[in-house]
Amino acid sequence: MKLELTAKQKDAQSEFRAFVNEEIIPYASQCDREEHTPPQLIKKLALRGFLGAAIPEKNGGSGMDAIAYGLLNEEIGRGCSSLRSLLTVHSMVAHVLCKWGSQYQKEHWIPKLASGEAIAAFALSEPNAGSDAKSVETTATPSGNFYILNGKKKWITYGQIADLFLVFTQCEGKSTAFLVEKNRPGLSIKPIVGILGTRASMLAELHLDNCQIPQENLVCRQGFGFSHVASSALDRGRYSVAWGCVGIGQACLEACIQYTSQRQQFGVYLKEHQIIRQMISDAIVNVKAARLLCYQAGYLQEIGDPRSISETSIAKYFASTMAVKVASDAVQIHGGNGCSSDYPVERYFRDAKIMEIIEGSTQIQQITIAESGYQEYGVLPERNVTQQNLVARI
């Protein structure tokens, strides 16, 4: 099998890379220090059509194929993981509405999400519910033509500036998803600062206090919140994160190539030391391997192969662990400089660790991958309740 990008995909990749080099990389460290993404940078993403990358053209989006969308995530991830995370959560909500939204929701929200007129955020995690997302404590109580939402959501990416939240609740014992606008009475937003990595992703905690939501904001049917809505969104999110991790690895590799070609120790450039060459070669191999896994997942998504779900988990698992290893080696190669914010590798290292946690942690991916492996080879292990909950979450 010959793996080669189409001419259109190559052109798109060049466009993405030029945009990142010019508009993102020069400001990424400042955004990280200030824990803030400038509105004008988000506007530039929108004007390029990047916020509507995964939205069909008929709905006002760019209609990128899965591979082109992956390449976009890699390049933005190479420049700034925080900004890439905006693309991730925004696209997750857009994907849900395209697939599960009502006609009204599609007509009202998708064009706004495609143009960047509205920013969307994904509100699943809670103070007491992370990997075991079926145990969310936020409730939705029917009341006439409305639902009354109560609870808290935490670690909501770009929650400080989002116009629309996709909120997951328990409604009469069934998992249910709702659209919640930022100006709804009863919704308050508290910024989260001091996070380890992706510091410019403007995290927030949402407080829902008798927040009244109209019936028309119900997404899909009651009871389908996790099994359909969340699972399809998380699959899209894992794909985006996997490619973003390739971007982190590529950024580390490029930084190390440049640094070892300029820095001298013991009378020679670092690149002449055998142990440094070993670390660089490991980085090259691992980045390329992760990229190939992402290509495979994207190809299967594009042709509608159901194996894309498990292959996406594999790509996310390998790429995220790869990013941590490559970023750690990059810091080591830079020595004391690698611990300074004067060099971007320390930011890459912090951001990489976040990638092992979001959209399903490394351990969750291992459970899911093993489950798929047993099924593929016709052997089904005994599954306890915890495993069932975790797999259902993914």
Q: DSSP assignment, residue 182?
A: T
Answer yes or no: are the C-beta atoms of 206 and 167 closer than 8 Å: yes
What's the CA gap between 293 and 313, in Å, rounded?
10
What's the CA gap between 185 and 64, in Å, rounded?
36
Angle between helical axes of 362-376 and 308-334 (0-180°, round to 10): 140
Answer yes or no: are the C-beta atoms of 182 and 164 closer than 8 Å: yes
Q: DSSP assignment, residue 144?
A: T
What's the CA gap between 55 and 90, in Å, rounded?
11
DSSP 270-309: GGGSHHHHHHHHHHHHHHHHHHHHHHHHHHHHHTT-TTHH
Strand segments (E) across the chain? 120-123, 139-143, 146-156, 164-171, 174-181, 187-191, 204-214, 218-219, 264-265, 268-269
Among 103, 86, 106, 104, residue whose Cα is nearest residue 94: 106
What's the CA gap between 96 and 218, in Å, rounded?
12
Q: How many residues does the chain have?
A: 394
Residue type, 135: S
What's the CA gap between 61 and 112, in Å, rounded?
10
Per annotation, catalytic residue among 74, 126, 205, 359: 359
Q: Is 359 a catalytic residue?
A: yes
What's the CA gap between 172 and 358, in Å, rounded?
28
Residue whose tokens read 């220090």:
33
For the record, the structure tokens of 40 come out as 């004008």
Residue whose tokens read 């390739």:
246
Answer yes or no: are the C-beta atoms of 241 and 320 closer than 8 Å: yes
What's the CA gap between 186 and 205, in Å, rounded?
14
Question: Facing residues of 171 across strands?
Answer: 174
Say which residues have a Cβ less than 8 Å from residue 386's Cβ, sequence separation at least 6: 132
For the record, the structure tokens of 305 come out as 């192969």
Answer yes or no: are the C-beta atoms of 184 and 211 closer than 8 Å: yes
Active site residues: 359
